[in-house]
Structure 1
C-alpha cells in the first residue's frame, strides 16, 4: 500500500527529551510519552498506517498553546494538532515525530450570542455537545459530518456532511478564528460581523488548512433557528440513474431540501444487517425537509412527484422525531455497516465531488468500475451538492487487492477531475491525496506553498500533509 515514508527525526533523542522537559515545566502531568497514548494519537480512522508522535500534550487555553508552540519552535520540533481523531486521510500521523497537541480538553462553549445567531467555542467542543448545549435556546449548528467530530477538526478539514445542501459547509459557517501561528503569535482573523471588506480573508485561509498553518484555539460559528417542522423521507429506485436524476431535478427546481442522501443497494443491504432496519434492498434516497408544517408537507409532495417520474417507489415520510433519529443514525452507521460486510477487514474511505450536472455520469461510471474491479465498495453520497463516497472494504494483508484498490481510487479521482470536480469534497488532502493536488489546482499550488512557507518557514506545523516540502 502506498504510504508516506517517515523522514529522519529533526532532533537527536537528547534534544527531543530537552524539549519535552521544557513542556513539562509549564504543563506538568499534562505532557505524556506513554506508548499507548502516543500510538492512539498517531492514527485516525483512515487506511493510512499510523505514526506516533514523541509526546502528547493537553493544553487548556490559547496562552498555553502559544507557549507550547514557542517551545517546539525553539527546538525545531514538529507540531501536530489533534481533535477527535475521526479524520479520513491520515491527517494526524506524526511522520517526523514531534509533539501532538490534543485539543479535546479545550472544550468550553464560551458565549452564545442568540440575538446575533452566533456562538464562540473552543476547538475541543464536539458537534453533538454544541447542539445539546444550544437546545434550549431554539438555535442549532447544522454541519453534520456523521462522526461526533470536534469543531476544531471540522474547521481544519473544511467539513460538511448531510446538511450541506441547505446550510453549506464549514467554509460558509465560520465567522472568526483565534489561531496560534508557527512562531507562537496569537491572531484573531475577524470580528463577529456577518460580513467585512477589511483586508485579506484570513478566516477562510485557515478553514481547511489541516493544521499546516497554525493551531486553531477559538472559533466563532454561525447558528440557525431550529425549524418549526422537520420531516424525513425515503424512496427506493430500481436504477441509480433514476435516483440521481431525482436529485438533480429536485435541486434545479429550487426545492429547499435540507438533506438528500443516496445509498446504493449494496450499502442499503449492509445497513439493514448492521442497524437492524428493513429498508428495500434497492438504490435509496434519504431526504429531510425543514420549514413550517405546510412547507414541509409541500416539499415532500413535490419530491415524491419528481421521484415517481424517475421510477421511484415506496416513498415514505415521517415527522416523528424518534423515527427520524433512527433513520439518520442508520445513515451515520454506513461506514461501520460496510466494514461488517467482510470479517477482519478495514475500510478505505474516499470521496470526490463534481458539478451536479455531471453527477449521474460520474456515479454510473464509478459503479461500473466497482463491479468490473470486483470490489466490495458500498456507495453513499451527499448528492445534493455533487459529493459521494465509497467505503471500500479491504484486506490489508492481500497485496493484490490493495494494488487493485489503489488503481481504482486513482481512476475515481481523475474521473472527477475530468468532469471539473475535485479529488475530495470533504475529507481533505492529509497525506492520502497529496499526489492529486497539482492535477487539480496546477500553478495555484505554488501560491499555496508560498503561503505555507511565509507562515511556517521551518515546516513545523503538521509536516507531510497537503504538500511534500
Structure 2
C-alpha cells in the first residue's frame, strides 16, 4: 500500500474502499465513454470526511473526483487521471427548510426526489428535475436543468448559496440566505457549473416554490415536426407561462410507447403542463390549445389524475432507458444543445433531416420551451463505424448550433466528451477559465482532465 493510501485509510478507516468491484463501479457514469478505475473510493458521511480526504490528497498531489448519484451523461465523474472517487451519497441530510422564505438547506447527496418527498406535506416543491434522480450537489456542479426550467429556471437561478471544500481543504461559504446581495464576487455562480474542478460542494441552499393549486397535463400530437416546434415558439412569444412544454419526435414516441405502454399516436408530440388556479390553468391551456390547432395539432388529451400525470412524466424522464426497446443492446450517444428560441424550429428540423441519413435509429426530444433539445444516436457498443458516423453527426450539430448563436450544451455540461468544443464556443474566455482554475487549484487535483485544464 502506498504512503498516500496508508494515510487515507488511517484517517478515514472503513470509509475507504480498495475493493476492485467498488472501484470499477465508480470508474464510469451513464455516458458512452470508457471507464477509468480510481485508486480508492471514499464514502463521505459528513463535511469533515471531505475535508480530511481533500487535505490528504493535496498533501500527496493526488486527484480527487466527487461523485453523487452517478447520472452524468458526459463523463464528469470518470476519474480519468486516477486518484480517489469521493462518494457523497451518504451526505444526504436535509438540514433546514425555511417555509416563510421558500428555501431549503441540504447536504450535497440529497436527491431531488428525496427533497420533494420531504417537502410535500409543507405545500412546497423543488422544481429542477433532470431525468435522473440526481443529487443536488451534482446538479449544482453541472448547472443542471429539466422539464420545468421554462417556468421556474435551472440550477443557475435556483441555487442561493453553497458550502465548498477548496483544493487546499479549506471550507468556504459562497453566499447568504437572501434574495439579493451586492457584496463581493459572485462565488456561488462560480462554483455552480464548475463540474467539481474548483472545489467540492458539500452543502446547497436552494429556492423552493409553493405547490400550485391546480396542475393539469396534456398531450398533443402533430401532423408535422414543424407544427409542433412552431407551437412552442408561438406559446413563448405569447408570454404564456406554461410549466412544462416538452417535445418528442415520432421515434421517441415509439420508444416511449414500447417502454411505458403509453399507447400514444406515433407522431411528433408535445407534453405540456399548466400550473396555477383553476381559472388560470383553463385560460392558459385554451390559449395554447388554439395555437396547437392552428399548427396542425390534434385536440389535447388530458391527464388530470395525479397517477396519470406521474406516469406520463415518468415515461418522459426515462426516455434514455426506452432506447433498448428500439434497438436492444444499443448504447446511446447522447447530445444536448441549446439555441435561441427564434432559431428552434430551424435547428430541430435540420437535426432531424441529418438524423434520417444515419444507418441506426436516432431520436430527438427536448425541453424546447427554453431552446434546449437532445439528439440520441442509438449505436451498438464496439461498432467503430457507427461511432464515427454518430461523432460526425454530433460535430455538425454542435457547429450548426454555435453558428446560430447557441451553445453546445444547455444542460448536460462539458465533462470529458465535449471538452474539445469549449474554445470553439468561448474563444479567449477559455484562457480566463484556466487562470481561475490555476488560482484555486494550483496542483490541478480537483477533477483533473476536465474544465480549466484542457480545451
What's the TM-score bracket when you normalise by the shorter of the two chains?
A: over 0.9
Match of 2:182 in 1: 197
Gaps of 5+ in 1: 1-13
Q: Tell me which of 438, 447, 451 is aligned to 1:462.
A: 447
Hey, what's the Cα distance between the residues in 2 that align with 1:51 and 1:265?
36
Displacement of 1:310: 0.3
Displacement of 1:307: 0.3
Is 1:96 aligned with 2:81?
Answer: yes
Gaps of 5+ in 2: none
Hey, what's the Cα distance between the residues in 1 that align with 2:288 and 2:378?
33
Q: Tell me which of 409, 415, 421 is aligned to 1:424.
A: 409
- SS of equivalent to 1:49: coil
Displacement of 1:467: 4.2
Hey, what's the Cα distance between the residues in 2 that align with 1:227 and 1:388?
26
Q: Tell me which of 65, 89, 99 is aligned to 1:114.
A: 99
Q: What's the CA shift string for 1:417-437, capped at 9, x where partnerless?
A: 000000001000000100110
Conserved 8 A contact 1:339-1:347: no
Match of 1:3 in 2: none
Displacement of 1:374: 3.1
Runs of 4+ in 1 over 6 A off after TM superposition: none
Q: What are the within-5 Å matches in structure 2 for residues 39-438 of structure 1? A: 39-438=24-423
Hey, what's the Cα distance between the residues in 1 that align with 2:81 and 2:387?
25
Hey, what's the Cα distance between the residues in 2 that align with 1:59 and 1:330?
33
Displacement of 1:338: 1.7
Superposition CA RMSD, Å: 0.9
TM-score, normalised with respect to structure 2: 0.98
- SS of equivalent to 1:336: coil
Q: What's the CA shift string for 1:298-352, capped at 9, x where partnerless?
A: 1111110000000001421232111111111111121111233112211111100
Conserved 8 A contact 2:434-2:453: no
- SS of equivalent to 2:53: helix
Displacement of 1:399: 1.3
1:386/1:127 CA distance change after superposition, 3 Å: same
Hey, what's the Cα distance between the residues in 1 that align with 2:257 and 2:4?
51
Conserved 8 A contact 1:236-1:313: yes
Match of 1:8 in 2: none
User: Which deviates further from its counterpart, 356-365 or 326-335?
Assistant: 326-335
- SS of equivalent to 1:334: coil
Hey, what's the Cα distance between the residues in 2 that align with 1:197 and 1:339?
50
Conserved 8 A contact 1:229-1:319: no
Hey, what's the Cα distance between the residues in 1 that align with 2:253 and 2:394?
22
TM-score, normalised with respect to structure 1: 0.96
Q: What's the CA shift string for 1:384-424, capped at 9, x where partnerless?
A: 00000012111122111111111111001001000000000
- SS of equivalent to 2:72: coil
- SS of equivalent to 2:377: strand
Displacement of 1:266: 0.6
Q: What's the CA shift string for 1:248-292, capped at 9, x where partnerless?
A: 000110111000000000110111011111010000000000000
